[in-house]
Amino acid sequence: MNNNPTLFDELLDLLHEKDVLRHIILIGSWCLPIYRVYFNNTPEVPILRTMDLDILIPPKLHLQNVIDIPSILKSIGFDEEFSHLTGYSKYVHPEMEVEFMVAEYGKGKREPYTIKPFNVLAQGLRYMSLVMEHSITVIYKGIPVCVPEPSAFVLLKFLVSTKRRDTIKRERDLKTAAELGAFLMMGIDQRSKLKSVFSSMHKNWQKTLLHVLSEQSNPLLNVFIEK
């Protein structure tokens, strides 16, 4: 697998140029190189990446004109891949796949969500409100990129692992969350942010998270249960 950072940089450049970046939140493992920059290029931040680049679209987009994201992606070699079985579509390049997400509430739905301002279909995912409530903007190679607070990213990874059907992806989520979480626990400020994000979560989410941590990361579990 050849995850070429050059393609990632090119994509960010283009989305910034087309005024897309300020309306979206980058989620998933491609946040890691941005976190490394955020933490002054420390090698202790893991750089485990996959081909999947996930983009969260917050609700209530306010755009004067439609920004045709499919055309933007196609201009740098991405092809749309549509699944008649699920109704979802993703944008595929030999080195990367781009998918769009929205926060899902209540019972949710099986069908994709139509995001008309961007002309894309998005998949609804649980726990995404955590990202929207706890996000930061990082200057990455001169470009402002919105990503989850590192602490929110870690807790989200643990939570999302409970919804993963793919064992390999689940293990990868857990490994990433554990490694970045271990780094965050080393600093007083980030340790405090972990607690703050945890406190903001729904009680049922807290319960789910504590259960996962009891199996995956006792050191991080102790952060939330210590007095």
220 and 132 in one domain? no
Per-residue model confidence (pLDDT) at position 2: 40
* Most confident of the ranges 103-112, 126-135, 168-177: 126-135
Supply 130's token pair.
């955590």
CB atoms within 10 A of CB 84: 6
Contact 47, 36 (CB under 8 A): yes
H or E segment and range at residue 125: strand 120-125
For 170-211, write each residue's pLDDT tens digit: 888 888 899 999 999 999 999 999 999 999 999 999 999 999
- 5 pLDDT higher than 70: no
Cβ count within 10 A of residue 31: 24
Domain hosting 97: range is 1-148
C-alpha 1/C-alpha 19 separation (Å) is 30
pTM over 0.95: no
Based on the fold, state whether residues 111 and 3 are members of the same structural domain. Answer: yes
Q: Looking at the predicted structure, is the pLDDT value of residue 4 above 70?
A: no
* Of 78, 71, 65, 80, nearest in space to 23 by CA: 65
Provide the pLDDT for residue 86.
Answer: 74
209, 69, 19, 196: which is closest to 127 by C-alpha? 209
**1/55 same-domain check:** yes
Looking at residue 84, its pLDDT comes to 75
Burial class (CB in 10 A: 0-12, 13-18, 19+), 42: exposed
What is the CA 139 to chain-centroid distance, rounded?
17
71/142 same-domain check: yes
Domain final position from 148, 179, 208: 148
Same-domain pairing of 68 and 139:
yes
Same domain for 185 and 82, yes or no, is no
The whole-number pLDDT of residue 105 equals 81
Is residue 123 located within the same domain as residue 168?
no
User: What pLDDT does 47 receive?
Assistant: 80
Pairing mode of beta strands 120-125, 113-115:
antiparallel
Do 105 and 46 sit in the same domain of this protein?
A: yes
If asked whether residues 99 and 191 sit together in one domain, one would say no
Interval 103-122 mean pLDDT: 86
Beta bridge partners of 147: 136
Of the residues 92, 118, 148, the one at which a domain ends: 148
Residues 6+ apart with CB under 8 A from 12: 21, 140, 141, 143, 145
Does 102 share its domain with 170?
no
What's the total number of domains in the chain?
2
Residue entry with tokens 């890691």: 32
118 and 25 in a single domain? The answer is yes
Q: Which of 19-23, 77-81, 165-169 has the lowest mean pLDDT?
A: 165-169
**Do 79 and 21 reside in the same domain of the chain?**
yes
Among 216, 183, 164, CA closest to 47: 183
Q: How confident is the model at residue 31 (pLDDT cuts 50, 70, 90)?
A: very high
Instruction: List residues bridging with 27 in a β-sheet.
Output: 54
111 confidence band (pLDDT: 50, 70, 90): confident
Amino acid residing at 223: V
- Give the chain's mean pLDDT: 90
pLDDT at 71: 96
Domain's final residue, options 79, 113, 148: 148
Residue 50 pLDDT class (50, 70, 90 cuts): confident
- Inter-residue contact 53 to 32 (CB < 8 Å): no
